[in-house]
Amino acid sequence: MPLVGAIDEGTSSVRFLVFAAENAEVLTYHQIPIKLIYPKEGWVEQDPIEILEAVRECLSQTVVNLQQLTIDPSDIVAIGIANQRETTVVWSSITGEPLYNAISWMDMRTADLVDDILSNTINSNNNNEIYLKELSGLPISPYFSALKLKWLIDNVDNVKKAMLNGSLMFGTIDSWLIWNLTGGINGGAHSTDVTNASRTMLMNISTLQWDPTLLLFFDIPYDILPQIRSSSEIYGHIQEGLLKGVPISGCLGDQQSALIGEMCLQRGQAKSTYGTGCFLLYNTGETIVKSNNGLITTVAYQMGPKSRPVYALEGSIAIAGGVLDWLKDNLNMLDEIKDCEKIVEQIPGDNRIIFVPAFAGLYAPYWRKDATSIICGITEDTKKSQIIKAALQSVCFQIRDILEAMEKDTGLTLTKLLADGAMTNNQLLMQMQADICGIPIVRPLMSETTALGVAMAAGSAEGIKKWDFKIDTTVPSDTFLPSISDNDRDILYSKWKKAVDKSLEYQQ
């Protein structure tokens, strides 16, 4: 029976899952957590070698698992990679070694650089953040790779030297993994896919090529960039370990992969993935919809070099699950993240606390890197359970912000929202989400949609074709219906909006 593997490289862990191509069942997986490194306030890094070694370990451990299940690992016909997007890696083509830690998508070190650019960039609307949006689909923000890469070239001697001697290589995590697994310094493929490239701010959203104007704007040389390819084709074959010879034939940003895994393949369908951040993608078909309300235009997928690209509007939220990690690790308010549901359930009635967790500023629809985190409404009676509840509610309010922006951009109201990702195990969060947005929240019982999407891309690539998109991946789901009145919902949301105003006003 043909099997398809999926590497799911997220912000906080690496996983490798194996699916049966005939029915999309997960047969086994292995997962390893990945550390975040905080060298200075606002700086967030990861070790590219730790990520690569974790991938290698997950691949071999999963093969052992298969053997224990008496399943033949040589039945794995293809592997796909779904990865955290924007996170920037630079390495040497001569030694294969990284020249710096990976700079995480959440990193804010380029905030001043953004200010410089904005003050020198005047466009006719006087709205400088959108100066490059026509070309890239994105606002100028520390979130995207271009500024991280520029910072590395300007501030790290080894990176500059490698650029001058022609050995510098740049990639997002997908490129770093594909290059290493397909041979590294011995001929590894330096590739990325259109979805990951669309998050660098260097790719033209219409031509799907590196854009000369954007490269010139950020002063980035063309020859350090990976080749942009579709999301479903053979990029190369694994050259090491127990899976040597298996083709890598799927590559997608993790959020785009979840869109496919949730089967949002029709224009007008949307999903939200609750991980470290939370990302709501709305399929706009083959049309590039430009947002006037703070959303990003991004490539959703391109299922093969000859297929037409499909686009999405995206609402990106920097801090979702990350706020619970903060309560656990920095304030010791939680022993385990999973405890928060029980703790919050004990709070009777309403919560007066509003928490705006703007640790990386506020992304969509505000795009304010200077937004400050605030907790409003604390009294001498405030309990930690109320802070935890406010943290959960902050995720739901941010999703409502995005839905309102999407409605303005598309003129359409979503009748339901598909939800996936680690946080969706929290029933209470799902119910709060339905209450705050006033629409049903649909959660698939099969939660591996991120891995599933890229497995589908890998298994259906030209030269593989073992995955039939007609397989019924519409798994059973739970639905959470709104349970409060429109009036209560609006009162609650207006408190959030006031707190966001304070967060935007407050200057540290």
Whether residue 365 has a cis bond before it, omega within 30° of 0: yes
- With binding defined as CB under 6 A, does residue 435 bind ligand G3P? no
Residue 15 sits in the site that holds ligand G3P (CB under 6 A): no
254 binds ligand G3P (CB under 6 A): yes
Q: Is 144 in the site for ligand G3P (CB under 6 A)?
A: no
Q: Interface with ligand G3P includes 276 (CB under 6 A)?
A: yes
In the complex with ligand G3P, the residue whose CB is nearer, 171 or 253, is 253
How far is Cα 268 from Cα 114, in angstroms, rounded to an integer? 33
Q: Which stretch binds ligand G3P (CB under 6 A): 25-33, 157-165, 252-260, 327-335?
A: 252-260
Q: Which is nearer to ligand G3P, 46 or 283 (CB)?
A: 46
Sign of the CA dihedral running 429, 434, 437, 441:
positive
Using the rule CB under 6 A, is 277 a contact of ligand G3P? yes
Q: CB nearer to ligand G3P: give 211 or 254.
A: 254
Q: Which is nearer to ligand G3P, 73 or 357 (CB)?
A: 357
> In 3-state terms, what secondary structure has residue 46?
strand
Taking CB under 6 A as the binding criterion, the range among 223-231, 274-282, 300-308, 460-468 that sits at the site for ligand G3P is 274-282
Number of chain residues interacting with ligand G3P (CB under 6 A)? 12
- Closer of 386 and 450 to ligand G3P (Cβ): 450
- Considering the complex, state which of residue 344 and residue 360 has its C-beta at the smaller distance from ligand G3P: 360
CA–centroid distance for 43 within its chain: 18
Q: Does 141 bind ligand G3P (CB under 6 A)?
A: no
Name, in order, each residue with C-beta under 8 angstroms of 181's C-beta and a sequence gap of 6 or more: 55, 188, 236, 238, 239, 240, 248
Q: Which is nearer to ligand G3P, 182 or 198 (CB)?
A: 198
Q: Which two tokens stand for residue 438?
A: 């006033």
Phi-psi region of 285 (alpha: psi -120 to 50; beta: other; left: phi over 0): left
- Gap between the Cα atoms of 107 and 111, Å rounded: 9
Give me the least distance between CB of 276 and ligand G3P, in Å please: 4
Give the Cα separation of 298 and 167 in Å (integer).
30
Closest chain position to ligand G3P (CB): 275
- Which single residue is written with the structure tokens 């990284």? 98
CA distance 442 to 276: 20
Angle at CA 315, nearest 5°, toward 312 and 318?
135
- Indicate the SS3 state at residue 121: coil
Q: Does 150 bind ligand G3P (CB under 6 A)?
A: no
Q: How far is the CB of 420 from ligand G3P (least distance, A)?
A: 10
CA dihedral 451, 456, 309, 139 (to 10 degrees): 0
Residue closer to ligand G3P by CB (options 192, 255) is 255
Quick one: which of 11, 88, 191, 249 contacts ligand G3P (CB under 6 A)?
11
Strands (E), 161-269: 168-172, 191-193, 227-229, 236-237, 247-253
Residues 66-105 that bind ligand G3P (CB under 6 A): 84-86, 105
> Which residues neighbour 240 within 8 Å (Cβ) at sequence distance 6 or greater?
56, 181
Is 294 a residue that touches ligand G3P (CB under 6 A)? no
Question: CA dist 283 to 90, 171, 309, 446, Å?
Answer: 32, 26, 11, 21
One-letter identity of residue 344: V
Query: Which of 116-124, 132-140, 249-257, 300-308 is the region at the interface with ligand G3P (rule: CB under 6 A)?
Result: 249-257
Find the shortest distance in angstroms from Cβ 421 to ligand G3P.
7
Q: Report the nearest approach of ligand G3P to the CB of residue 407 (Å).
A: 23
Verify binding: residue 444, ligand G3P, rule CB under 6 A: no
Residue 49 in tokens: 């070698």
Q: How many CB atoms lie within 10 A of CB 144?
A: 25
Residues in the site for ligand G3P, rule: CB under 6 A?
10-11, 84-86, 105, 253-255, 275-277
